[in-house]
Amino acid sequence: MKKFIKLRHLEIKGTSALNYLPEGIGALSSLRTLSKFIVGDDRGCKIEELKDLNRLEGDLEIVNLERLARGNDGSKASIEKKQYINVLSLCCVDRTDDEWSMVGEDEKEQMRDVFGSLRPHENLKELRICNYIGFGLPIWVGDASFHNLVSVQLVNCHLCRQLPPLGYLPSLKYLEIDGIRELQYVGHMHYGVPFVGPKGFPALEDLTFKRMQRWETWELSVSEEQMPCLLQLTILGCPRLEAIPDELGQLRALESLTIWQCTQLKSLPKSLHRLTTLRRLIIDECPFLKERCRKETGGDWGKIVHVPNICIDGEQIQ
């Protein structure tokens, strides 16, 4: 492979069984497309072979990051110099429940250092972090200097107990937080700075919380300056969530609300009747809410009677 010095595009998406890349990829200095880079350990392509591939553009997925042995290894990839990469995915291998429970303190600290050294260029538009090991994400995640970042996905970062200050990202439109099992609280203070600060999430349109097994408490500080563009809110598979903040009624642009498998939710926010923009409400596998939202007889019916499209457990209510 290293002899193909004029090669510009190496497309290897969908190769889930591929475990290694051949040594010498770093010599292909003409590469524009490298859809996936597999970190090697005792064999295969090492992370430092990315160092001089600064013409790469489009999508780049870096997988098997758990193979890096030292925190400073990631800096050898010079990700920050790759100004033409629009979409970046940083992934460790997925683990079974037993394997997650056996992650040691040293490994958690090591991976935080590794991910900290993989800070991308500020031109980045989409970021995905998957199967991250550690209590907290690196400090650059949520840095306001990423002024072009429109999409963030945090997937299966099971051990994280805090969220980064994503509200500072000025262009963020899509945020998905999926499978952070240890997270119990979502509020406006994380890492000592606001999660939703003054003018927080100024461009956010779509917010999804998904498979948050231990999430219990949600505090939302909302004013007219915060989340002014939010159109769609989705909450899926959060069985311990006890309440949706009453401040939800101040999200003046919200058009769609989906709640699924939130078995401890006892009622909808009192302020929901203020959401005159709400056009669609979907509730599924939420037994308390189902009873509360029965047409004309449920205790929450008055909060949602103005919504033209309501579907509960697959039944179209109105």
pLDDT in tens, 234-283: 999 999 999 998 888 888 899 999 999 999 999 999 989 999 999 999 99
Q: Is residue 105 domain-resident?
A: yes
Q: Is residue 81 domain-resident?
A: yes
- Are residues 231 and 256 in contact, defined by beta-carbon separation less than 8 angstroms? yes
* Nearest Cα residue to 178 out of 206, 143, 213: 213
Q: Is residue 284 domain-resident?
A: no
Residue type at 277 in one-letter notation: T
Q: Is residue 34 domain-resident?
A: yes
- Are residues 175 and 207 in contact, defined by beta-carbon separation less than 8 angstroms? yes
pLDDT in tens, 86-124: 999 999 998 888 888 888 888 888 888 889 999 999 999
Q: Which domain holds residue 115?
A: 7-12+20-123
Q: Is residue 316 domain-resident?
A: no
- Are residues 151 and 172 in contact, defined by beta-carbon separation less than 8 angstroms? yes
Q: How many domains does the chain have?
A: 1
Q: Is residue 269 domain-resident?
A: no
Give me Rg for the CA atoms of the chain: 22
Given phi > 0 = left and psi -120 to 50 = alpha, else beta, which region is 179? Answer: left
Q: Is residue 116 domain-resident?
A: yes
Q: Which pTM does this prediction carry? A: 0.93
Q: Is residue 186 domain-resident?
A: no
**Of 9-13, 77-81, 95-99, 128-132, the least confident:** 95-99
